[in-house]
Structure 1
Amino acid sequence: MPHIDLADVRVLAPNFKRRLSGVTSTIIQLVPVQNRLGQKVAVIGPGLPQSLPHVRFRDLWRLWQLGPDKRPRVWHARRNIEMLPAIILRDILRMKLKLVFTSASQRKHSGWTKFLISRMDAIIATSAKTASYMDVPSTVIMHGIDTERFSPPADKAEAKRAVGLDPNQKYAGCFGRVRHQKGTDLFVDAMIAVLPQNPDWSAIIAGRATGPHVEFENGLKEKVRAAGLADRIIFVGEHTNINEWYRTLDLFIAPQRWEGFGLTPLEAMATAVPVIATDVGAFPELVEGETGEVMARGDLQAMSDSASKWLKNDGKRLEAAMAARQHVAENFTIAGEAENLGRVYDAVKASA
């Protein structure tokens, strides 16, 4: 693990949760890009790859000193458990810190969270909807993705062969954790409804079921078998090369009942795949009319009708695919997200 000297660090990105989550994934993807832009970001805490620059807890005494740019360092928290120690470091120990908090929450905050947020120097919301739940001013910075990793294949048939799929079939996909909250059952039920009338289409569910959700997944597999579609609704599990699976798709469906932000529609659109998404998380702010369709959460009939319409219209899917790739490349790159974060850091430092 590359421990670096805190004297060279301008921004600290704490991660105080061991289990992998969307927040952790955001840190993992952002920090290398931020450092390529010269922001000098280091992580602190467990559960992060060794490839990222780490700072040791025992070196935090250096926070009594100014950073390498002769200004306070920025502590960029993304959870309550990361805001609280920062407040102690700054307000009780009088260390030279500016505190930034990013929220993806789309619900009313508890009194405790409101207190923590009130002590921050700057607030970032990951969507306009998230910002609407804030009692204090915030800057909306939506997540971006790596548009080089998530990019269209040169040959879609070959992309399907590469992961063992039939190159003569078209595929609708639903990627992410397999659980009720994610609406995996709605996707399965919609596919059971529409695939019999569309013999040139199959469906892929990529993602992992954990703990109590394993039984939920087993029930879905049994439902698929009972419908006689086990060879056309395929559970492929979790994959580290998920970008290669996106390249096999002709349509992506994000059926979530609830979501904080949700990167999967961006990953699909960056890969030139049209998206049907429910109206949760940031999805309505991500998917535009030309790139796909947004519908009410939990509405199986609407999802089935929409899927049927998109499956049957090759021309519409082709137009949406091209628009989707352009939309993400122009508005949702991870480099753009990092640049916007850098502007917030500069602003809070300037207020020192």
Structure 2
Amino acid sequence: MPKRKIYVDPAGVHVIAPNFKQRLSGVTSTIIQLVPVQNRLGQKVAVLGPGLPPHLPHLRFRDLWKLWRAPEGRRNRVWHARRNIEMLPGILLRDILRMPLKLVFTSASQRKHSGWTKFLIRQMDAVIATSAKTAGYLEVPSTVVMHGIDCEIFRPADDKDQAKRACGLDPDLNYIGCFGRVRHQKGTDLFVDAMIELLPSHPGWAAIIAGRATAKHIDFENGLKAKVKQAGLADRILFVGEHTNIADWYRTLDLFVAPQRWEGFGLTPLEAMATAVPVVATDVGAFSELIVEGETGKLIPANDLSRMVLAAGVMMGDVDALQDHAMTARERTKTLFALEGEAETLGVLYKRGAA
């Protein structure tokens, strides 16, 4: 039986996290992971909009009129937008309806903004960039707050062989993974081509592609499956689809590849490193700020198949180095990128604007 949503009274809400996109995305995933931690820290955050799980504290749209009254213990509420479609309603509520709101926007984009987006951003009371690279594309002052990861959900396996068996995998094989949306932008084709080249000379390895191809990208995925079959590797390059227990699949891996051609931030390398899995990643998004070359993995240029083959091949051939990288990756993630650190920093910024 589906769980019922938990609805809360706006009077006790200090921060609103709107989510006006139904489809699951990286932004939605961030909200889902972050809000429970923020509330454990006493930040009194509620979500607004579709596509979010029922266990999060929700506001009803019909209760928005109550935002005319300041929250308990504060002069203003914070409206924390992460997309254009969430900035605009915040502006209308604050400037047209004169509600006591402070508007915060988090930008993960690493490209020039449109004139409309620039206009919206200029109306914000505070702007957050998810990486130093992202901050370079903003034309207003910003604070860098990098995403964190839940290091309890994403943790190493107590028994890796058992973790592999639980996912129906062969415990005698090493696995290299590529997780996320299956599409050209994510570089899934580069990963497949690299595996077709590498696996024949690495008989102890197999590859896993986990993630969903949306309707627009089904033909792309089918083309990759056909290429794998033609190469005679359908039993060693596995398309396992989308899974809600993705942390369990990370625990089966010995190496992770993030082959994106473009990315805003990109959480998959952090998810892998938190699970003690070294990473080969393209130099896009925040990856260069997450990965330490030669210690937690390797960085390669985007859209460079030969460099991907070389980097992954070197790591697949050195199991001892993989184990060293794995432990370093886990410790670095726990120290610098724990989700609690992101939540605490946001709490300081919220208080600065709304206290």
Shorter-chain TM-score above 0.5 = yes
State the SS of the aligned residue for 2:208: strand
Which whole-Å CA distance do the structure 2 matches of 1:132 and 1:277 have between them? 21
Alpha-carbon offset, residue 228 of structure 1 = 1.1
State the SS of the aligned residue for 1:172: strand
Alpha-carbon offset, residue 309 of structure 1 = 0.4
Alpha-carbon offset, residue 66 of structure 1 = 1.4
Query: 1:339 maps to what in 2?
Result: 344
Alpha-carbon offset, residue 62 of structure 1 = 2.1
- Check the 8 A contact 2:213/2:221 in 1, yes or no: yes
1:29-48 pair list within 5 angstroms: 29-48=33-52
TM-score (norm 1): 0.98
Residue 210 of structure 1 pairs with residue 250 of structure 2: no
Query: 2:20 maps to what in 1?
Result: 16
- Check the 8 A contact 2:106/2:127 in 1, yes or no: yes
Alpha-carbon offset, residue 20 of structure 1 = 1.4
Query: 1:302 maps to what in 2?
Result: 307
1:191-340 pair list within 5 angstroms: 191-289=195-293, 290-340=295-345
State the SS of the aligned residue for 2:58: coil
Residue 120 of structure 2: which of 116, 119, 129 is its match? 116
AA paired with 2:334?
Answer: A
State the SS of the aligned residue for 1:268: helix
1:166-185 pair list within 5 angstroms: 166-185=170-189
Residue 106 of structure 1: which of 88, 101, 110 is its match? 110
| Residue deviations 1:24-81 (CA, integer Å, cap 9, x gap) | 1111111111101000001111121111111112222222221111320101011111
Alpha-carbon offset, residue 12 of structure 1 = 0.6
- Check the 8 A contact 2:269/2:281 in 1, yes or no: yes
State the SS of the aligned residue for 2:66: helix
Which whole-Å CA distance do the structure 2 matches of 1:245 and 1:194 have between them? 21
Residue 156 of structure 1 pairs with residue 160 of structure 2: yes
Unaligned runs of 5+ in 1: none
| Residue deviations 1:81-122 (CA, integer Å, cap 9, x gap) | 111111111112111111100010111111111111111110
Residue 90 of structure 1 pairs with residue 98 of structure 2: no
Query: 1:70 maps to what in 2?
Result: 74
Query: 2:9 maps to what in 1?
Result: 5
Deviates more, 1:134-143 or 1:53-62: 53-62
Residue 50 of structure 1 pairs with residue 54 of structure 2: yes
Which whole-Å CA distance do the structure 2 matches of 1:135 and 1:50 have between them? 37
Alpha-carbon offset, residue 249 of structure 1 = 0.5
Give the number of equivalent residue pairs: 350
State the SS of the aligned residue for 1:42: strand
State the SS of the aligned residue for 1:75: strand
AA paired with 2:38?
Answer: Q
State the SS of the aligned residue for 1:234: strand
Which whole-Å CA distance do the structure 2 matches of 1:208 and 1:92 have between them? 41
AA paired with 1:175?
Answer: F
Which whole-Å CA distance do the structure 1 matches of 2:246 and 2:67 have between them? 39
Query: 2:142 maps to what in 1?
Result: 138
Which whole-Å CA distance do the structure 2 matches of 1:330 and 1:68 have between them? 34
Which whole-Å CA distance do the structure 2 matches of 1:307 and 1:56 have between them? 48
Identity between Structure 1 and Structure 2 (%): 70
Which whole-Å CA distance do the structure 2 matches of 1:69 and 1:178 have between them? 46
Which whole-Å CA distance do the structure 1 matches of 2:66 and 2:221 have between them? 49
Which whole-Å CA distance do the structure 1 matches of 2:66 and 2:243 have between them? 40
Which whole-Å CA distance do the structure 1 matches of 2:125 and 2:340 have between them? 23
State the SS of the aligned residue for 1:212: helix
AA paired with 1:295?
Answer: I
Deviates more, 1:54-63 or 1:326-335: 54-63
Alpha-carbon offset, residue 157 of structure 1 = 1.0
TM-score (norm 2): 0.97
Deviates more, 1:58-67 or 1:215-224: 58-67
Alpha-carbon offset, residue 190 of structure 1 = 0.5
AA paired with 2:132?
Answer: A
Which structure 1 residue ranges, 4+ long, deviate > 6 Å from structure 2? none
Deviates more, 1:17-26 or 1:269-278: 17-26
AA paired with 1:291?
Answer: T
AA paired with 1:300?
Answer: L
AA paired with 2:144?
Answer: V
- Check the 8 A contact 2:14/2:74 in 1, yes or no: no
AA paired with 1:294?
Answer: L
Which whole-Å CA distance do the structure 2 matches of 1:115 and 1:224 have between them? 46
